[in-house]
Amino acid sequence: MGPEGIGTLVRRFRCQARLTQYELSEISTVSVRAIRDLENGRVERPRQETVRLIANGLHLGESQRLVLHAACGGSAKEAAAKLISDAAPIEPPARINGLSGREAEVQAVVEAMTRDHNRWITITGLNGVGKTSVALDVAHTLHKLHAYSTLWVSLDAPGPHPDGSDRFRVDSAVVAEVSRIGEHLMGDEFDARQLVQMIGQRRTLLVLDGCDLKRIGADRVLALLAGCHGLRVLVTTRDSGATPGEHLLPLEPLDVPACETNPPARAEHHPAVQLMLSHIRRLQPRAADTSAATVGHLVGVCRALDCIPAALKLGAEWGLVLSPVQLLERARRDPLSLLISPTVGGAGPALRQTLEQSVRTVTATDRQLLGLLAPLRTGWTVQDVARLAGIDEPDSARRVWGLLVRGLIRRVDGSAGSQFRVLNLVARLFEMQEPETVH
312 to 351: interface string for ligand ADP, x by CB under 6 A: -x--------------------------------------
**Nearest distance, CB of residue 356 and Mg ion, angstroms:** 17
Alpha-carbon gap, residue 27 to 19, rounded angstroms: 10
Sheet holding 247-250, edge to edge: 168-170, 149-155, 204-209, 231-237, 120-124, 247-250
CA 258 remoteness from chain centre: 29
Binding-site size for Mg ion (CB under 5 A) equals 3
Alpha-carbon gap, residue 330 to 311, rounded angstroms: 14
Nearer to ligand ADP, 123 or 181 (CB): 123
The 3-state DSSP class for residue 244 equals coil
CA 211 remoteness from chain centre: 9
Q: Which does 109 bind (CB under 5 to 8 A by kind): ligand ADP, Mg ion, none?
A: none
| Best CA proximity match to 205, nearest among 126, 297, 280, 110 | 110
CA angle in degrees (0–180, nearest 5) for 221-222-224: 65
| Best CA proximity match to 381, nearest among 416, 423, 427, 413 | 416
**Nearest distance, CB of residue 104 and ligand ADP, angstroms:** 11
Q: According to the binding rule CB under 6 A, does residue 107 interact with ligand ADP?
A: no
Q: Which does 127 bind (CB under 5 to 8 A by kind): ligand ADP, Mg ion, none?
A: ligand ADP
38 to 77: interface string for ligand ADP, x by CB under 6 A: ----------------------------------------
Q: How far are the Cα atoms of 54, 260, 398 from residue 391, in angstroms, in the given order?
A: 68, 37, 11
Q: Which does 154 bind (CB under 5 to 8 A by kind): Mg ion, ligand ADP, none?
A: none
Q: Helix/strand/coil (H, E, C) string of 380-435?
A: ECHHHHHHHHCCCHHHHHHHHHHHHHCCCEEEECCCCCCEEEECHHHHHHHHHCCH
Residues between 197 and 236 that touch ligand ADP (CB under 6 A): 236
Nearer to ligand ADP, 209 or 384 (CB): 209
245 to 284: interface string for ligand ADP, x by CB under 6 A: ------------------------------x---------
Nearer to ligand ADP, 64 or 341 (CB): 341
Residue 426 · residue 374 · CB < 8 Å:
yes
In this chain, which stretch among 55-63, 127-135, 322-330, 422-430 interacts with ligand ADP, using CB under 6 A? 127-135
Number of H helices, E strands in the chain: 22, 8
Candidate residues 48, 114, 118, 132; the one interacting with Mg ion per rule CB under 5 A: 132
Query: Phi/psi at 368 (nearest 5 deg)?
Result: -65, -45
81 to 100: interface string for ligand ADP, x by CB under 6 A: ----------------x-xx
- State the residue number with the nearest CB to Mg ion: 132
Interface residues with ligand ADP (CB under 6 A)?
97, 99-102, 125, 127-133, 236, 275, 309-310, 313
Interface residues with Mg ion (CB under 5 A)?
131-132, 210
